Amino acid sequence: MVGFIIRRFIAMLLTLVAVSIVAFAIIQLPPGDYLTSYIAQLASTGDQVDPRVIENLRLQYGLGEPFYVQYWKWVTGIVQGNFGHSFEWKRPVWELIWGRLGNSIMVEGMAVIVMWLIAVPIGIYVAVRKYSLGDYLATVAGFIGLAVPNFFFALILMYLAYVWFGTTMGGLFSPEFENARWSLPRIWDFLAHAWAPVLVLATAGTAELIRILRANLLDELKKPYVVTARAKGLPEWKVILKYPVRLAMNPLVSTIGWLLPALVSGSVIVSVVLNLPTAGPMLLRSLTTQDMYLAGAIILLLSVLTVIGTVISDILLALIDPRIRYGSK
């Protein structure tokens, strides 16, 4: 087990390095360097440009030096907790994003939990009652869930809430709780706001999870040990829950690997539609204003979160499935 975790960690570190290179490449993509445009922007608003400040910035980011030198400066900065400077907000990037990133993690984490809470019971039900009305309904709902883009679902939800209840949905907190400390009323306020984005994010993945669980469970239920258990007179719920369901869950845990990237992707666009204070809208804004250190940091951190989430799911999978723990090499 320890060996497995170490191997997985080394692979993760390599992936993180690759992720950081991609994120830095995106920072570098827009033509011209940001310092030049920053100076132009300062000059156009009539601000005095202090040559020493500019020179410091140039030195800090290694502008004008080769790609790898700039990358190295950027990455070593990040390791020390310095994500660079947002030229638009005139503040350090980290200060701007950590709160929003926390919100992102919260919404996405809740979406994962909701997804499982919905998918597992339904998946078990449709596998046990194959070709029943419920099975067909779940299949149809699943296909629609797959075909409706996240943001479109959010738009429709927003429209219906406005037409039926006259409320404008959006945000994660009411104004009075925006900057308050965490307390019971604030948690309640958060839940009252967060259910919509969480529901929207959960739909697409739920359909896929149900489909996988159904297929796996159907395979398991056909196996002789289930017949044996039944023949020995075990109550039906025990026959199903004790072994087949546990076995059918294993592949489900491994789906987190592709579910998480899709979820993080989806949350960016849903957050823009529902105006959530998460990393998504800030990424969009920083990209349109070419505030590249901010954008790069968000892309980097979103990807890092995804990678770490995937590693956690791998370790979970190894914990519940000894074949993976001992099987690989």
Q: Binding of another protein at residue 307 (CB under 8 A)?
A: yes
Distance in angstroms (rounded) separating the CA atoms of residues 163 and 156: 10
Report the residue count for the chain: 329
Chain Cα centroid distance, residue 97? 15
Q: Are 294 and 90 in contact (CB under 8 A)?
A: no
Task: Say whether 73 sits in a helix, a strand or coil.
Answer: helix
Q: Binding of another protein at residue 310 (CB under 8 A)?
A: yes
State the residue for tokens 């009539």: 46
Q: Binding of another protein at residue 227 (CB under 8 A)?
A: no
Cβ closest to another protein, residue 172 vs residue 299: 299
Structural Rg of the chain based on CA atoms: 24
The window from 44-52, 55-63, 115-123, 142-150 that contacts another protein (CB under 8 A) reads 142-150
Find the shortest distance in angstroms from Cβ 166 to another protein.
10
The window from 57-65, 91-99, 193-201, 297-305 that contacts another protein (CB under 8 A) reads 297-305
Give the footprint of another protein on residues 237-266 (CB under 8 A).
257-258, 260-262, 264-266
**Which two structure tokens, joined as six digits, stand for 12?**
């993760």
Q: Binding of another protein at residue 151 (CB under 8 A)?
A: yes
**Which two structure tokens, joined as six digits, stand for 209?**
């999870």
* 91-92 and 85-86 strand pairing: antiparallel
Q: Binding of another protein at residue 303 (CB under 8 A)?
A: yes
Q: Binding of another protein at residue 30 (CB under 8 A)?
A: yes
Query: For residue 291, which of 36, 27, 5, 12 has the smallest C-alpha distance?
Result: 27
Binding-site ranges for another protein (CB under 8 A): 15, 18-19, 22-23, 26, 29-31, 143-144, 146-149, 151-152, 155-156, 158-159, 162-163, 168-170, 257-258, 260-262, 264-266, 268-269, 272-273, 283-284, 287-288, 290, 295-296, 298-299, 302-303, 306-307, 310
